[in-house]
Amino acid sequence: MTNLTDLADKYGSDKGSKKHRYTELYHMLFQPFADQQINFMEMGLLIGGPEHGIDADRKTTDLPSIRMWLEYFSKAQITGLDISDFSWFSHERFSFVRCDMDTRDGIAQATADLPQMDIIIDDASHASHHQQNAFLTLFPKLRSGGLYIIEDLRWQPPAYEKDGITKTAALFQSYQQNREFAHVDTDVADEFNGLRKDMSGCFVFQVKYQKQRRDQVIVVHKR
């Protein structure tokens, strides 16, 4: 089997050895799915966009990680979700959904017709409320045994981040430490705690897997 890190480097994805090294973890997690007919979603398809002060209607020219996923998951249906337009990319196993992550209603409407997913990766704006909106909306669409991953926890975009909001890393660390989610918004905390019964495992990894560094990626396994 082709190694996922090799594919990331081949297509220029920042998930590979050149930067984040996420694919070292993902290859272990995803290998059992590689030749299965699964539904896979990635949110956030190309570096740049409003989180970096670039207009959402920017011209997009590549899909590095989607090309990687299509080769790695030989039978998967891949859904890409982004605030910018990637509808120009055509592949029989790829579909695109354009979506702003700012509200849960918007995410729910954009994804209403999608099937249940086996793997979901949030590599979108990295704003805390966007990550939390997406999880609360989409974790219920994950199949039993599925994986939900949130990347790039250590950075939040100034253009989007709300003052005083509980960071996503801190939110999941509270669950790991106390088996209960703590959030400055008690309604958000209650909604996350309502999902605990469906979570069989939650793991937080630091930058380049070095324990002394900041939290970087979360993996949640659905019961």
Helices 22-30 and 4-11: crossing angle in degrees, nearest 10, is 130
Nearest to 204 by CA among 213, 196, 192: 213
Q: How many CB atoms lie within 10 A of CB 188?
A: 18
The CA distance from 56 to 75, in Å, is: 31
Residues in the chain: 223
**8 A C-beta contact, residue 104 and residue 88:** no
Of the candidates 20, 126, 129, 130, the residue annotated as catalytic is 126
Active site residue 126: yes
How far, CA to CA in Å, does 14 sit from each of 42, 85, 111? 14, 20, 26
Q: Please, are residues 184 and 167 in contact by the beta-carbon 8 Å criterion?
A: no
Q: Of the candidates 97, 82, 96, 84, which has an alpha carbon nearest to the alpha carbon of residue 55?
A: 84
Q: Identity (one letter) of the amino acid at 23?
A: T
Query: Which residues belong to the active site?
Result: 126
